[in-house]
């Protein structure tokens, strides 16, 4: 009886959607972990949503999003969107993973896309940005611009994504200055302007003349501006917080991906996949490359072009794990010419050689 | 550690302690009158956003500071009406005030996210401020640090050396007796709550005008709760609350500093250290049970309805 009911409903839904094709626009919906205007992570997703509306015009209705969704209570809002007739739903925070999979099971005709996760289903894809590509370029710029050869790095939590960023930054810096040093400070928060600003001041006080952040607020940028040193921004262009300090920001640019995926649903070509894209498809940008000499800018642009073309991979060997002695065969992760594979990168839990700090356990 | 490094460190500690001190001193007076207002976080959030906007619109950071105080008072007035006039449960109303304040601040500030704000510059007295170490610390802080110090002294003097302060404490300790003696309990508590709101609003304004010079939703990041805890662990004595606030500020900066120097302790532990140390130290200095009983407002959190 139940089976029959489900089958009838599915058939009805199918007939309905077929009948509506061409008439009603495709409904694409988003779920954000923060406010749509947080000036950082969630705002970048919202800009991506607006790009879809602009690019696909009246073929798509991209007006629906739910913001401030707690990771602990995300199933209800996602289910609500699916019931409201959303045909593709983007759930944009790592913590939404399990509820996305759960809801997707009950709505086989709705497409789901989950950002930064690893669980998929026939109607669930994952998508993520290769931020480390940008961080490698930032490391190169830092090593060129820093007079003291010392960067301060403000970080949130020791998860692979963050460690990957630190390692990539260091590898980039070492490619320019093998003796480059970083000091790492963990603030145990993605977002606390007061604490991030404090951490920035502490690092400046200890001699860092470049600040890098893997947290969300512009407070470190403001501290850098005040102290007359340089800094990199996070998620969105933070140049207005440090007109003289700002070298570049690591910008999330989700628009091209969202447009591609919504178009695929329109064309009926959408399939489940795991996307991890970077410079090549424009998902990450290191921009606007300012407050630096022209030769540094040229070097950064050249590196970006090489990563785009595949000529350079930030995690290209020889790469050694952190050790007290000289790099040796025991600490070698990959040899010359080899590249660390994606699976290892996604679970990265060690520092590269040259980082003095101890990895938090 | 070099002299400029030490100086930078101490300046950062003071900046970290100041907002906590404002909020905690306000809450202390409120609780001394017998009212438990758990809405500090919400009042701070609204103070932060209103202060930021007022400063941004007028171009004067002083206007921003004043506006944050007024905003905190308005939020506190709401709480006072609900709990004192309509005798609603103080704990529930305080929690509601926090949730309401955080939501309201997000709504008000919607268009002001990611705008660099005005800052309140540190003062500079030629000659005095230029003395190494001592100069910037004593003569080179931002103006609100001096306000905080003055406020701590004033609150202590008011509570323990004035008649009005005695009435506030009497109201908190035994509202029935205070009422019988002819004091208007509701009026005293109303004023104490408003004072608490003004301080919380100022603490919020300090965050968005001095500490970070920007406004972002939820930027108070739990500091209102820390302030409430400081009052309790400081056993309702202004001096101990000052110790607690400075200690908390100091440890939270020192642990960041230790990380920068590569101290091999887990950062998760270091980040928890300010909370642990502050609680332990305040519990130790407050271990005299008799003194604790004397200083705890006996009617804290209890509603009062005048019977005649």
Per-residue model confidence as pLDDT tens digits over B249-281: 999 999 988 888 888 788 888 888 888 888 888
User: Pick from B8, B114, B270: which is nearest to A205 by CB?
Assistant: B8
Chain-chain contact of A183 with B211 (C-beta, under 8 angstroms): no
Pick among B116, B133, B252, B266 to test the A interface (most A CBs inside 10 A)? B116
Give the pLDDT score at A23: 58
**Share of residues in chain B with pLDDT > 70 (%):** 99
**Share of residues in chain B with pLDDT > 90 (%):** 64
Pick among B17, B256, B276 to test the A interface (most A CBs inside 10 A)? B256
Is the distance from CB of B109 to CB of B217 less than 8 angstroms?
Answer: yes
Residue A46's contacts (CB-CB under 8 Å, 6 or more residues apart) are A30, A32, A36, A37, A65
User: What are residue B298's phi and psi, to 5 degrees?
Assistant: -65, -30
Mean pLDDT of chain A: 89
Nearest to residue A140, comparing CAs of A299, A285, A290, A284? A299
The pLDDT tens digits for A157-214 are 888 889 999 999 999 999 999 999 999 999 988 878 889 999 999 999 999 999 999 9
Q: Which residues of A touch B214 (CB under 8 A)?
A: 193, 217-219, 222, 241
Q: Which residues of A touch B120 (CB under 8 A)?
A: none
Q: Which residues of B touch A203 (CB under 8 A)?
A: 260
With tokens 């040796």, the residue in question is A328
Is the distance from CB of A156 to CB of A173 less than 8 angstroms?
Answer: no
Q: What does the block give as tokens for B305?
A: 């309805």
Residue A18 has pLDDT above 60, yes or no: no
User: Pick from A189, A193, A205: which is nearest to B216 by CB?
Assistant: A193
User: Pick from B16, B116, B260: which is nearest to A241 by CB?
Assistant: B116
Would you list which residues of chain B are within 8 Å, Cβ to Cβ, of chain A? 4-5, 8-9, 12, 15-16, 19, 106, 110, 113-116, 207, 211-214, 216-219, 221, 223, 252-253, 256-257, 259-262, 264, 266-268, 270-271
Give the pLDDT score at A1: 40
User: What are residue B79's phi and psi, to 5 degrees?
Assistant: -60, -40
Give the pLDDT score at B291: 81
| Predicted confidence band of residue A15 (pLDDT cuts 50, 70, 90) | very low
Q: Which residues of A touch B221 (CB under 8 A)?
A: 189, 191-195
Is the distance from CB of B213 to CB of A222 less than 8 angstroms?
Answer: yes
Residue B115's contacts (CB-CB under 8 Å, 6 or more residues apart) are A240, B56, B214, B215
Is the distance from CB of A45 to CB of A254 less than 8 angstroms?
Answer: yes
The Cα–Cα gap between B267 and A358 comes to 10
CATH 3.40.50.2300 boundaries in chain A: 24-129, 135-252+285-346
Q: Which CATH homologous superfamily contains domain A135-252+285-346?
A: Response regulator (3.40.50.2300)
Give the pLDDT score at A361: 66
Measure Cα distances from B23 to A98, A242, B120, B230 in Å.
40, 30, 19, 10
| Predicted confidence band of residue A26 (pLDDT cuts 50, 70, 90) | very high
Give A11→chain B minimum CA distance, Å.
43
Which residues are registered as beta bridge partners of A88?
Answer: A28, A111
Residue B43 has pLDDT above 80, yes or no: yes
Average pLDDT over residues A22-37: 85
The Cα–Cα gap between A209 and A117 comes to 35
Residue B260 lies in a domain: yes
Give the pLDDT score at B216: 85
Q: pTM (2 decimals)? A: 0.83
With tokens 């905003």, the residue in question is B71
The pLDDT tens digits for A211-246 are 999 988 889 999 999 999 999 999 888 898 999 999
What is the number of domains present in chain B? 1
Q: Does A186 touch chain B (CB under 8 A)?
A: yes
| Predicted confidence band of residue A5 (pLDDT cuts 50, 70, 90) | very low
Chain-chain contact of A35 with B106 (C-beta, under 8 angstroms): yes
Chain-chain contact of A241 with B214 (C-beta, under 8 angstroms): yes
Average pLDDT over residues B218-247: 92
Structural domain harbouring B220: 3-295
Give the pLDDT score at B279: 83
Residue B49 has pLDDT above 80, yes or no: yes
Residue B300 lies in a domain: no
Chain-chain contact of A194 with B114 (C-beta, under 8 angstroms): no
| A-B contacts (CB, under 8 Å) | 116
User: Pick from A43, A222, A236: which is nearest to B214 by CB?
Assistant: A222
Average pLDDT over residues A130-156: 95
| Predicted confidence band of residue A91 (pLDDT cuts 50, 70, 90) | very high
Give A278→chain B minimum CA distance, Å.
26
Q: What does the block give as tokens for B219?
A: 């930027």
Burial of A134 (0-12, 13-18, 19+ CB in 10 A): buried
Pinpoint the alpha helices (H) of chain A: 2-20, 41-56, 75-83, 97-106, 131-145, 160-176, 193-205, 219-227, 255-267, 294-309, 342-346
Residue B53 has pLDDT above 60, yes or no: yes
Q: Which residues of A touch B264 (CB under 8 A)?
A: 358
CATH 3.40.50.2000 for domain A24-129: no
Give the pLDDT score at B262: 80
Q: What's the CATH code of the domain at B94?
A: 1.10.3470
Give the pLDDT score at A334: 86
**Share of residues in chain A with pLDDT > 90 (%):** 68
User: Which residue of A lies nearest to B113 if distances are taken between CA atoms?
Assistant: A39
Residue B34 lies in a domain: yes
Average pLDDT over residues A308-316: 93
Q: How many helices (H) and strands (E) does chain B have?
A: 13, 0
User: Which residue of B lies nearest to A216 if distances are taken between CA atoms?
Assistant: B216
Give the pLDDT score at A35: 80
Q: Does A163 touch chain B (CB under 8 A)?
A: no
| Predicted confidence band of residue B308 (pLDDT cuts 50, 70, 90) | low
Q: What does the block give as tokens for A230?
A: 């340089």
Q: Does A222 touch chain B (CB under 8 A)?
A: yes
Nearest to residue B210, comparing CAs of B33, B11, B76, B32? B11
Give B285→chain A minimum CA distance, Å.
27
Give the pLDDT score at B287: 81
Packing angle of the helix pair B185-206, B163-173 (nearest 10 deg): 100
Q: Which residues of B touch A192 (CB under 8 A)?
A: 219, 221
The Cα–Cα gap between B120 and B191 comes to 29
Measure Cα distances from A16 to A9, A246, A303 in Å.
10, 53, 51
CA angle in degrees (0–180, nearest 5) for B222-B223-B226:
95
Give B13→chain A minimum CA distance, Å.
9
Average pLDDT over residues B220-229: 92
Give B304→chain A minimum CA distance, Å.
38
Chain-chain contact of A194 with B211 (C-beta, under 8 angstroms): yes
Give the pLDDT score at A293: 95
Q: Which residue has the higher pLDDT, A312 or B119?
A: A312
Residues A35-51 as b/e (b if ≥16 CB within 10 A, e otherwise) read: bbbbbbbbbbbbbbbeb
Chain-chain contact of B212 with A222 (C-beta, under 8 angstroms): yes
Q: Helix, strand or coil for residue A27?
A: strand
Q: Does A77 touch chain B (CB under 8 A)?
A: no
The pLDDT tens digits for B108-127 are 998 888 788 887 888 888 88
Q: Which residues of B touch A231 (CB under 8 A)?
A: none
User: Which residue of B lies nearest to A183 if distances are taken between CA atoms?
Assistant: B260
Q: Does A361 touch chain B (CB under 8 A)?
A: yes
User: Pick from B110, B221, B260: which is nearest to A37 by CB?
Assistant: B110
User: Pick from A39, A240, A356: which is nearest to B262 by CB?
Assistant: A356
The pLDDT tens digits for A92-120 are 998 899 999 999 999 999 999 999 888 89
DSSP tag of B262 = T
Residue B254 lies in a domain: yes
Q: Count CA atoms closer than 13 A to A162's CA, side-chain side.
A: 21
Give the pLDDT score at B4: 79
Pick among B259, B266, B270 to test the A interface (most A CBs inside 10 A)? B259
């Amino acid at each position: 009886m139940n089976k029959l009911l489900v089958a009838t409903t599915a058939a009805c839904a199918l007939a309905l959607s077929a009948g509506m094709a061409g008439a009603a626009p495709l409904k694409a919906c988003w779920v954000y972990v923060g406010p749509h205007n947080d000036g950082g992570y969630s705002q970048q997703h919202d800009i991506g949503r607006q790009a879809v509306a602009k690019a696909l015009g009246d073929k798509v209705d991209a007006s629906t999003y739910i913001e401030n969704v707690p990771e602990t209570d995300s199933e209800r809002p996602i289910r609500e969107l699916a019931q409201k007739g959303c045909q593709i739903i983007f759930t944009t925070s790592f913590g939404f993973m399990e509820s996305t999979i759960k809801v997707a099971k009950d709505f086989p005709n709705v497409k789901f896309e989950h950002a930064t996760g690893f669980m998929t289903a026939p109607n669930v894809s994952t998508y993520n940005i290769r931020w480390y590509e940008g961080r490698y370029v930032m490391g190169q710029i830092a090593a060129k611009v820093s007079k003291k050869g010392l960067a301060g790095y403000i970080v949130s939590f020791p998860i692979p994504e963050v460690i990957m960023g630190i390692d990539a930054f260091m590898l980039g810096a070492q490619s320019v200055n093998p003796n480059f040093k970083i000091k790492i400070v963990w603030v145990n928060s993605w977002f606390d302007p007061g604490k991030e600003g404090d951490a920035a001041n502490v690092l400046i006080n200890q001699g860092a003349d470049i600040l890098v952040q893997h947290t969300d607020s512009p407070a470190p940028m403001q501290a850098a501006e005040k102290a007359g040193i340089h800094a990199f921004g996070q998620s969105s262009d933070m140049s207005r917080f440090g007109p003289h300090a700002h070298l570049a920001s690591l910008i999330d640019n989700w628009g091209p991906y969202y447009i591609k995926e919504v178009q695929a649903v329109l064309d009926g070509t959408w399939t489940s996949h795991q996307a991890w894209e970077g410079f090549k498809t424009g998902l990450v940008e290191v921009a606007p490359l300012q407050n630096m000499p022209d030769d540094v800018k040229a070097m950064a642009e050249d590196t970006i072009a090489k990563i785009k073309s595949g000529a350079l991979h930030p995690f290209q060997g020889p790469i050694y794990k952190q050790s007290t002695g000289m790099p040796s065969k025991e600490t070698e992760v990959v040899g010359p010419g080899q590249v660390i594979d994606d699976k290892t990168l996604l679970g990265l839990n060690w520092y590269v050689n040259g980082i003095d700090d101890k990895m938090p356990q | 550690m070099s002299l400029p490094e030490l100086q930078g460190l101490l300046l950062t500690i003071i900046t970290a302690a100041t907002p906590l001190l404002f909020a905690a001193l306000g809450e202390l007076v409120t609780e001394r009158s017998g009212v438990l207002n758990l809405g500090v976080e919400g009042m701070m959030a609204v103070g932060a956003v209103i202060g930021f906007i007022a400063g941004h619109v007028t171009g004067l950071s002083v206007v921003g500071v004043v506006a944050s105080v007024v905003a905190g008072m308005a939020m506190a007035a709401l709480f006072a009406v609900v709990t004192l006039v309509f005798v609603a449960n103080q704990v529930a109303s305080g929690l509601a005030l926090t949730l309401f304040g955080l939501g309201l601040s997000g709504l008000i500030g919607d268009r002001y996210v990611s705008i660099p704000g005005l800052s309140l510059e540190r003062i500079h007295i030629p000659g005095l401020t230029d003395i190494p170490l001592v100069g910037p610390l004593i003569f080179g802080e931002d103006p609100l640090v001096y306000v905080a110090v003055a406020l701590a002294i004033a609150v202590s003097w008011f509570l323990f050396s004035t008649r009005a302060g005695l009435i506030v404490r009497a109201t908190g300790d035994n509202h029935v007796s205070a009422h019988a003696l002819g004091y208007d309990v509701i009026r005293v508590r109303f004023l104490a709550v408003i004072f608490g709101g003004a301080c919380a609003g100022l603490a919020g304004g300090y965050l968005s005008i001095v500490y970070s010079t920007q406004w972002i939703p939820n930027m108070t990041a739990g500091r209102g709760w820390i302030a409430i805890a400081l009052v309790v662990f400081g056993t309702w004595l202004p001096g101990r609350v000052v110790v607690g606030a400075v200690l908390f500020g100091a440890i939270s900066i020192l642990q960041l500093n230790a990380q920068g120097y590569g101290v091999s302790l887990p950062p998760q532990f270091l980040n928890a250290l300010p909370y642990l140390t502050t609680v332990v130290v305040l519990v130790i200095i407050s271990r005299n049970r008799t003194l604790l009983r004397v200083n705890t407002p006996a009617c804290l959190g209890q509603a009062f309805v005048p019977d005649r």
